Structure 1
Amino acid sequence: MADLVTLPPETLGGVIDTVPFSRRFQLIPDVFGRMDSLLGQAGIFFAGPQTALYRVNGDDMEIRIGVPLPKPLPGFQMFDVDATRALHIRHHGAFDTLPRIYQALTAEVEARDLTRTGWAREVYRFMAKDASLNICDVYMDVAQT
């Protein structure tokens, strides 16, 4: 069961891109690779948690991947994330099972008579070579119908 939470506003710096929704699974890894490259070029060995925001616009998916930065840094696109209400599920394990989490959140939206309002987001809390150790908070922005 998902929790209904309030997320505060925040400003992140990272990568913003749009990819065809039908090719998102092939193209999203490149966006994360660009983020990793930016962090390396800036000499940042830890900045977290890393947050990925996803929003579908017609046939495209807008992707924003960012981290909290103490100030704007060269190459990073700064963006604001509005405060919102969201359904939340904490996911443990491999990221290839995340589609099941989104299915569960979508079912909760319908069961609670809510409406999706914008972003889905993944906040990566712990990532390991052993994917069974991964922890990712998954949120779906919602409003009362």
Structure 2
Amino acid sequence: MSRMHKEAHGSSGSSKPVEKDNPDWVEFEEDEIIEIILELREEGLQPAQIGLRLRDEYGVPSVKQATGKKLTEILEEEDAAPEMPEDLKNLVEKAESIQSHLDENPSDEQAQRQLELAKAKVRKVADYHREEGNIPEDWEYAADE
């Protein structure tokens, strides 16, 4: 994925395994993995954190390979999905953090620019999620003016 506010076109991320089936060495069945996902969600973990914990602690390399569904699809089916998509929530938190910094340091011009960029990202991601139906059509970023 290219960067939004840079000239660079960096891409990151690991390659997914070619094999579509769940590896033989995974110790858990589909039902057990879904139970673990729901337990971790009850602990208050976000979907990305659940995926990391499944990978690191339970040895499940890919939820989609193990269950045939994405982690967020499983959460939606079980009515445990987060209210706001995770990427949008993280961007809003970042913008709020920058805003609180600017309240204490109003002359920080670099932070002012970063706040503008963060708000632009929030608007762009919110437009995407509105189109996908993940957030209500009338949702707007509260600090947006």
Name the TM-score class by shorter chain: under 0.3
Structure index of larger Rg: 2
Task: Write 1 or 2 for the structure with the bigger share of helix.
Answer: 2
TM-score, scaled to structure 2: 0.24
Task: Write 1 or 2 for the structure with the bigger share of strand.
Answer: 1
Greater RCO between the two (CA within 8 Å, min separation 6)? 1
TM-score, scaled to structure 1: 0.24
